[in-house]
Chain A
Amino acid sequence: MLNTISYLLSATLRMGTPIAYTALGGMTSERSGVNNIGLEGIMTASAFGAVVGSYLFQNAWMGILFAILIGVAISAVHSLVCITWGGTQGVSSMALVLLSTGISGVGLKALFNQQGNSPEVPSLPATTPLQGIPVVGDFLSKQSPFVYLLLLCLLATWFLFRHTRLGLRLITVGENPRAAETAGLSVHKLRYFGVLYSGVMGGLGGAMLSIGSMNMFQEGMVAGRGYLALGAVTMGRWNTWGVFGSAMFFGFFSALQLYLQSIQVPIPTEFIQMIPYLATVVVLAATADKGSAGIAGAGKPYTKYVRQR
């Protein structure tokens, strides 16, 4: 029993953490006024980027750096399109997904001359020093460093919106960009920050998939987690802790799926594999709030030059 709980808890953390990273980024981007439904793309490209970095330097930490850089690069495309060019945010997001799948496929062939998956690369080490802690040390030491880094990111994001100057400005620009402009703020710069932040976070989320939980990149390994992150943002009501909780909730269903497979319940595997996706839809349907306003100024491009008429 205890074993089961420990297994589920570990697996929930492992499966929920990448979603949580990405969702934190998505939340920040949306709170600044730019929806990013292309988080899936950011995760895919950076999962691949992490493997490339780790492979080139034979060092997993360089992998993380690469993942962040790629995440930022992909989200920079989104900000260029949505903020500077005033393009449709949903449409641009789909471009991110296509670009990312494409780039990682092309890269696999060009760099490793492989299709489908990359060779094995150094992955992030376990947190063995924590083993010394009594009672929970064993459990703690089994968790990936990504889990601990997530705590840091959570606190940082919370602090950003709660206390900092930038946070207040991001909220203003997301809720009412015109008000921000009349207060002398640069709508574009602030929104760039929001979107690029989602690149950094999505980068970490992607890196965890390829060099945190595994040691290679596989095509399709993100498997909709970017969209789960999107769901977590809505379900968590654009609140750091709510978003984190929702991400972990989704992580739990993935963990459950793994657990059921491992104990070999007499249900066809395919149906067990459906669980996280079905659960997401059901949970979203159950929690969706019809009256929720969300972020007032999000989703629309902002142009300074508005016709009077």
Chain B
Amino acid sequence: MRKGAGITLDRKKLQETGLTLLITVIALLAALLVGALVIWAFGSNPIEAYGALWQGAFGTGVAFTVTLGKAVPVMLTGLAVAVAFKCSVFNIGAEGQLLMGAMAAALVGAYVHLPMALHLPLTILASMAAGMAWSFFPAILKRRGNVSVVISTIMFNYIAQYLVQYLILGPFKGPGESPATATIDATAQLPDLLPKPYVLNLGFVLALAAVAGTYVLLNRTSRGYEMRAVGLNASAARVNGIDVNQNMFLALLISGALAGLAGGIEVTGSLNKIVNNFSANYGFNGIPVALMAHNNPFAIIFTALLIGAMRSGSAMMQSSAGISKNMIDVIQGLIIVFLCAENVIRYYVKNRAGGKQHA
């Protein structure tokens, strides 16, 4: 009897997971379809454009490793957004936190000289600390002054942008004409995982480790339990002795550290220095990555790959199909729009299933 109940429940859970997956796939397909209409409306051929996007992302082995590489920063910013989201904090400042993380990594990498076993970890940790520090301001403003996190994190994005620009062009300008910092020491560079011409470095592994770490934090620890309780029902959490503000504060700090790590890996893994305006919306891409994954850390691996693929394929789409790279922003926006139809899709799927049961 009890066993029977257990099995039906497992089946229910499986159904639920399947439904969530179905909704995500529907949203993705709908977004691609409407995206095709947009491409067509602007006078390009959607099939050609999507073909080029695919080619660019998966056409060759090298392209595939580029895709994996591009997935790394969005995986981390996706995690950053998801951790905060789980605690009902909307961190749209991952972009700025990433910038500061990158800046810290570039400075520690270039101006501190140590053996690799110390230098690389120190550089990575510096990037996380800087990202965390950058999220500290919005976090403390929320906690002490009740300032909307949405507004303050956005404002700190702009502040970070100008600050980094100042540092690159001013005190930390590297040798040569180009507006960039000095190249970091070889001891601070992430080792490659594959021989040239493939471009995959240890950053990918670090990102996967961050995924596992985030999962453990959220689902296996009492702190994670608190953060989720706050995210789902802050009022009940408070009444039951959970410090809501403290958890939100902490979630935003962890979020900042993850975004900072994304910047650190970009610098230590591929760029090796910061050029002006290097950041390319990795922070903002974290939002669709997290949403598509329903904030589930493991699902973020896949959604990050998807966004990574779009990013790595978009250049070819622009050059061969003549449609702007920005098309991938449109698609991401559309994905979010259709993900928001979740309730509607759920309603129809369940009603149809329910109808069958009755009949």
Contacts and interface: CB of A to CB of B under 8 A. Distances in A.
Interface of A: 37, 77, 81-82, 85-88, 90-92, 94-111, 115, 223-224, 227, 230-231, 234, 268, 270-271, 273-274, 277-278, 280-281, 284-286, 288-290
Interface stretch (B12-20, B154-162, B182-190): B154-162
B326 A274 contact: no
A92 B326 contact: no
Interface in B310-334: 318, 322-334
Given A91-B291, A92-B336, A231 B148 contact: yes
Nearest to B154: A227
B147 A96 contact: no
Contact of A224 (B154, B165, B334): B154
Q: Which of B44, B145, B287, B340 has the most CB of A within 10 A?
A: B340
B90 A98 contact: no
Interface stretch (B66-74, B127-135, B232-240, B341-349): B341-349
B288 interface: yes
Contacts, number: 152
Nearest to A303: B343
Contacts of A97: 284, 333
Contacts of B334: 95, 99
The 9 closest A-B pairs by CB, nearest first: A105-B326, A87-B340, A102-B329, A102-B330, A99-B333, A98-B333, A109-B324, A95-B336, A270-B166
A91 B156 contact: no
A29 to B, nearest CB: 15
A92 B144 CA distance: 28
23 contacts: A82-B340, A85-B343, A91-B339, A95-B337, A98-B284, A98-B333, A98-B336, A101-B329, A102-B333, A103-B330, A105-B326, A106-B324, A106-B327, A107-B42, A108-B324, A111-B42, A227-B154, A230-B151, A270-B169, A273-B162, A277-B156, A284-B145, A289-B146
Given A99-B337, A110-B323, A271-B162, A94 B92 contact: yes
B163 A274 contact: yes
A110 B44 contact: yes
A26 B137 CA distance: 26
Contact of B42 (A82, A106, A231, A271): A106
Contacts of A270: 162-163, 165-166, 169
A82 B336 CA distance: 12
B35 to A, nearest CB: 9
Contacts of A280: 151, 155
Interface residues on B, range: 35 or more
Chain A interface mostly helix, strand, loop or mixed?
helix
A102 B322 CA distance: 15
Given A87-B340, A290-B146, A110 B324 contact: yes
B104 to A, nearest CB: 18
A284 B165 CA distance: 25
Given A90-B150, A285-B141, A106 B38 contact: yes
B158 A271 contact: no
Interface in B212-268: none
B270 interface: no
B145 A285 contact: yes
Given A107-B42, A109-B324, A288-B146, A231 B151 contact: yes
Contacts of B61: none
